[in-house]
Structure 1
Amino acid sequence: MRSYRYNPKRKIAFFILITVLILGLLTYLKIMLSHYTTEKASQITLAEQYIIMAETMADGLDKLTYEQVLTDRQYDYNHDMIKQYLAEFRTRINALYVYTLAFDETDVAKVLVASMPPGVNDRIMGIPCTVPPKQVDKAKHGQSYYTNVINDPNHGLYISIGVPFYNDAGKQLGVVAIDVDMNHLQVIGHEVVNSNRLILLVDILFVALLLSVIYTFHRWYRSSLKHDLVESETMYISEMSKILQSIKAGRHDLMNHLHVLRGLMDMKMYDRTNEYLKQISIDTRTLDLSTRIKNPVLMVLFQTKWQQAQTLNMEMTFDIDESNFSRVSSMDLVKIFSNLLDNAIEAVGTYEGDLPKSIHVMCKTVGSDYLFAVQNPTLLTAKDQRNWFQHNYTTKSKETVLRGNGLMIIKRTVDKYEGHIRSQYEDESVLIRITL
């Protein structure tokens, strides 16, 4: 059985292929839509122009002569007079056919008089016309019409327009119809497509640029997410290591106490054993933060740091209200206070001044803001104070994984919440205040 290996490059290639196919399809659809709308707009514009020509033709038609043709329906002098009139207009407007239509009770119009191009049989009186029933109905109700493009085997593409005309008494005599060649519309459509090639190319480049920006942003987001994950894992491992060290130190002390107690019991020094147990009770101080801190992650962190400070003979006090500080994620709270307290513990551990070796921690809600602060004694040079939040800067001589980056991690976390961070150094005491 073959095992499947995840290949990110294959996924990216597949994404690019799908994107190109979609882009090609959208471009093709845009070209077709542009071609169609151009042809449709040209068709409507041309039809409206020829409707005006047909109205002019209908106004100049000899109605009395035409009524005689309508009554006789013969190829006679009256028919020839009307035909000559239509032929003059056909030549002038460069139309395929110019003719008149007569109606009956059906939805089929019939040709009465027609002017055809040379060589085409124009003796077609009474022959049904190809005008669709919908347009025939419009003409019967006194409305002008134009058809969609008709594909004729002999004459190619054309549209037919018609205008009803009336005698002096207002009686409808028929329709003046014109068939207009539309083969040139294909040429117009191709010209439009050709003229839009540059625009289409710009569209493609724009989409390609947009995809590049999205891909770059995606890569940046994944890189940022990976960086945060590595940072969080590093801090988690560091804190777990400190917890284990605290447990080991506590176990070591417990074993020593048990050995002493066992020795006293073996020697039957019961009074001395009782005094030793009382002394252990006095010296073993614990900090119960479970009822004071609503955020469990923050509670565990403070408990661990307090125990760490106790093993180093430092005092750590807390001023905390009952807020759970829910607007800040637990991981970000750990990033802030873990680095602040680690720096404070290291600073107090190397401090040789006259101030007590104590660390004071504050977590309060002031209005709609959170106020976090850590104060401890330390000795800082002017250079230390200037470069306090510079990347990779440290006041320690020995580097660790997080050394030199702790305050930068704090600063990035504070910036994430659009907060403010202030540092104050006075009389060998440093105070860092964070407002979120």
Structure 2
Amino acid sequence: MDIKEQQKLLGQKEKEMDSLQNLLRTVRAQRHDIINHLDTVYALLSLGREVPAREYTGQLVQVAANTSHLLRLEQPVVAAFLQNKASQAMARGITFYIDVRADLKGLKVKPYALVTVLGNILENAMEAVEPLPGEQRLIQLDISRSETGYIFSISNSGPPLDPAMKEAIFRPGVSTKGLDRGLGLATVWEMVISHGGTIEVETDPVTFRVKFPV
């Protein structure tokens, strides 16, 4: 291994350690903040605001459920990234469901590559659902494993995708969001293909299904 490769490997390890530390800080912060959340729910109930209290409690339950699921990944970098995305979704009034049915110990794809793929698809999903009324802003991420590989499925409740765009959206410069905004999914396509994976798109509901071999 030459010096450049060693430096690259060291840089990746440093990023992984930073992500792990961020995850631990997030977990500690959530534990510390639980009292504030309970105080908020109590205050809403005291004011007779049962509906907001119920909605707020639902958000807290979903955050806790997501955290529990992410611990099953046994991949701190990806877990930290998804925890951050879940926090962003909550701040944007989006309900983000995460269902982890398999750990990632057998995944050969590097964490930075997986974060790039999931990050671009999730950001597109958030932008798609943001214009909707609050209760309709939904995103679902399912992580599972078959005999042949890992499957990452991301669906959202946004407008259906024009079937004619299914393949075109992966071309550089092509986007459903306007001119010069079509680089993210092109990057996703290149990253997935370069790691021997495949990506499928369903139009209604809009779903991206990424598969990586084991």
Runs of 5+ consecutive residues of structure 1 not aligned to the other structure: 1-221, 230-235, 262-270
CA drift of 1:378 comes to: 2.4
8 Å CA contact 2:78–2:115 kept in 1: the answer is yes
1:412 aligns with 2:190: yes
CA RMSD of aligned residues (A): 3.9
CA drift of 1:315 comes to: 1.1
Distance 1:350 1:382, change over 3 A: farther
Q: Deviations over 1:322-346 (max 9, x none)?
A: 3225311001110111011001111
Aligned residue number for residue 292 of structure 1: 72
Aligned residue number for residue 282 of structure 1: 57
| Alignment match of 1:431 (pick from 181, 186, 207) | 207
1:335 aligns with 2:124: no
CA drift of 1:382 comes to: 4.9
- Partners of 1:273 and 1:415 in 2: CA distance: 50
* Greater RCO, 1 or 2 (C-alpha within 8 Å, sep 6+): 2
8 Å CA contact 1:292–1:322 kept in 2: the answer is yes
1:216-365 correspondence to structure 2 within 5 Å: 275=46, 279=53, 282=57, 285=60, 286-287=63-64, 288-289=67-68, 290-324=70-104, 325-351=106-132, 356-365=136-145
CA drift of 1:431 comes to: 1.1
- Partners of 2:162 and 2:58 in 1: CA distance: 37
Distance 1:272 1:421, change over 3 A: closer
CA drift of 1:368 comes to: 2.8
Distance 1:356 1:273, change over 3 A: closer
Aligned residue number for residue 370 of structure 1: 150
Aligned residue number for residue 179 of structure 1: none
- Partners of 2:155 and 2:82 in 1: CA distance: 15
Distance 1:272 1:297, change over 3 A: closer
CA drift of 1:397 comes to: 3.6
Q: Helix, strand or coil: the match of 1:304? A: helix
Q: Helix, strand or coil: the match of 1:434? A: strand
- Partners of 1:414 and 1:340 in 2: CA distance: 12
Distance 1:398 1:312, change over 3 A: farther
* TM-score calculated relative to the size of structure 2: 0.65
Distance 1:311 1:398, change over 3 A: farther
Counting aligned pairs with the same residue, the percent is: 20
* Structure number, greater radius of gyration: 1
Q: Deviations over 1:100-140 (max 9, x none)?
A: xxxxxxxxxxxxxxxxxxxxxxxxxxxxxxxxxxxxxxxxx
Distance 1:284 1:390, change over 3 A: closer
* TM-score calculated relative to the size of structure 1: 0.34
Q: How many pairs are equivalent?
A: 173
- Partners of 1:273 and 1:386 in 2: CA distance: 48
Aligned residue number for residue 12 of structure 2: none
Distance 1:273 1:381, change over 3 A: closer
CA drift of 1:417 comes to: 1.6
